[in-house]
């Protein structure tokens, strides 16, 4: 860790970049009862970083990161964001095209970005999107029990569903990683080989 921080610090000094060390956070898998400080001796200075316990959640570029395999916090975020959007648009005089534009180009990309580190099942995504689909049907004076296929068909609205967008995004990221000329591609291939061995498959899991 000190070696990595030393290289980064040398780069910042070389390019005259000022870094706010007070905002630096170290996520650790140690079973810490609370946050504590970690000291690092760099060539040019001594750096102190706050070390957070394993259950802590930190926000990095709008994405919440935690070392625990818990999706509850992100799911709650998605629920709040959808609820906020629905409450805002509920009493607005908007057309179906305007509502569709807000959903497909604003809401869905935001939700996909915030949840990019977790995988949400199709049933969960459908449950999370239920309030917006209900609002959309209400604006169209449609019965709420009308099949959602009417919304998603290309012949009508081409309503983007969160699950399909996430699957497409994850597949795109996987293809980029597999074609990466650096270490990322090798790591992905090793993980695929480990998965193949664990599942006792005759060929790569990506081959149908």
Percentage of the chain beyond pLDDT 70 is 91
pLDDT of residue 188: 86
Which is more confidently placed, 61 or 106?
106
Q: Which of 109, 54, 102, 111 is nearest to 77 (CA)?
A: 111
Reported as a pLDDT band with limits 50, 70 and 90, residue 63 is confident
* Average pLDDT value for residue range 119-128: 87
Which is more confidently placed, 144 or 111?
111
Contacts of 112 (CB under 8 A, 6+ apart): 162, 165, 166, 169
pLDDT tens digits for range 22-33: 777 777 776 666
CB 47 within 8 A of CB 21: yes
Residues of 10-39 as b/e, b for ≥16 C-beta within 10 angstroms?
Answer: eeeeeeeeeeeeeeeeeeeeeeeeeeeeee
pLDDT of residue 69: 67
42 pLDDT above the threshold of 80: no
């Amino acid at each position: 860790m000190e070696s990595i921080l030393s290289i980064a610090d040398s780069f910042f000094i070389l390019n005259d970049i000022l870094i706010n060390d007070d905002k630096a956070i170290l996520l650790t898998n140690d079973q810490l009862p609370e946050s504590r400080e970690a000291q690092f001796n760099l060539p040019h200075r001594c750096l102190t970083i706050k070390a957070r316990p394993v259950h802590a959640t930190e926000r990095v570029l709008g994405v919440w990161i935690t070392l625990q395999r818990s999706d509850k916090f992100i799911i709650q975020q998605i629920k709040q964001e959808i609820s906020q959007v629905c409450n805002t648009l509920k009493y607005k005089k908007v057309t179906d095209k305007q509502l569709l534009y807000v959903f497909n180009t604003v809401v869905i990309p935001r939700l996909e970005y915030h949840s990019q580190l977790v995988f949400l099942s199709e049933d969960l995504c459908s449950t999370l999107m239920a309030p917006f689909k209900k609002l959309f049907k209400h604006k169209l004076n449609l019965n709420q029990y009308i099949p959602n296929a009417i919304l998603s068909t290309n012949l009508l609205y081409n309503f983007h569903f969160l699950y399909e967008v996430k699957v497409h995004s994850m597949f795109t990221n996987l293809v980029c990683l597999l074609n990466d000329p650096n270490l990322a591609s090798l790591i992905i291939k090793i993980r695929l080989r480990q998965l193949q061995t664990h599942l006792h498959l005759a060929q790569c899991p990506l081959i149908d």
